[in-house]
C-alpha cells in the first residue's frame, strides 16, 4: 500500500508543481498590471518573474506586452504579443493587446 501511495505521489507531483507555477505566474501577472500605472519598473520586474514561473502562460505574456506598451516600448510589446498569440490565440488578453498595439501604431 505504501508503494502505491509513493507511486501515485511521484506520478502526480509534476502536475501539482505545474499547477502551482501557473497559479504563481497568474498572481504575479495580475499584481504587475495593478501596479503598472504607478510603478512601471516594479511591474516589469513582476511580469518577467511571471513569464519565468510559467513560460506557457499566454495570459502572462499578454499582460507583459501591455506593460511594455505602457512603458512606450512598442517593439518589446510586439514580441510579447507574438508569444502570447502563439500560446493562446483565442485568449481575450491576447486580443486586447493586439488591439492596443494596432491603435498605438496608428498614433505614430
What is the reported pLDDT for 20?
66
What is the reported pLDDT for 71?
92
Spans in the chain with pLDDT lower than 70: 1-21
Separation of alpha carbons 41 and 47, rounded Å: 10
What is the reported pLDDT for 21?
66
For 2-107, CATH number out of 3.65.10.10, 1.25.40.10, 1.10.1240.10, 3.90.1150.10 equals: 1.25.40.10
What is the reported pLDDT for 30?
79
Query: What is the residue extent of each domain of the chain?
Result: 2-107
CB 69 within 8 A of CB 97: yes
Amino acid at each position: 500500500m505504501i508503494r502505491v501511495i509513493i507511486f501515485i505521489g511521484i506520478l502526480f507531483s509534476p502536475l501539482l508543481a505545474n499547477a502551482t507555477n501557473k497559479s504563481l505566474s497568474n498572481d504575479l501577472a495580475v499584481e504587475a498590471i495593478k501596479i503598472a500605472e504607478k510603478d512601471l519598473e516594479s511591474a516589469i520586474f513582476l511580469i518577467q518573474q511571471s513569464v519565468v514561473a510559467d513560460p506557457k502562460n499566454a495570459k502572462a505574456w499578454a499582460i507583459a506586452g501591455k506593460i511594455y506598451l505602457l512603458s512606450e516600448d512598442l517593439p518589446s510589446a510586439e514580441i510579447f504579443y507574438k508569444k502570447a498569440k502563439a500560446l493562446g490565440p483565442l485568449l481575450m488578453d491576447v486580443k486586447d493587446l493586439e488591439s492596443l498595439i494596432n491603435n498605438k501604431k496608428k498614433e505614430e
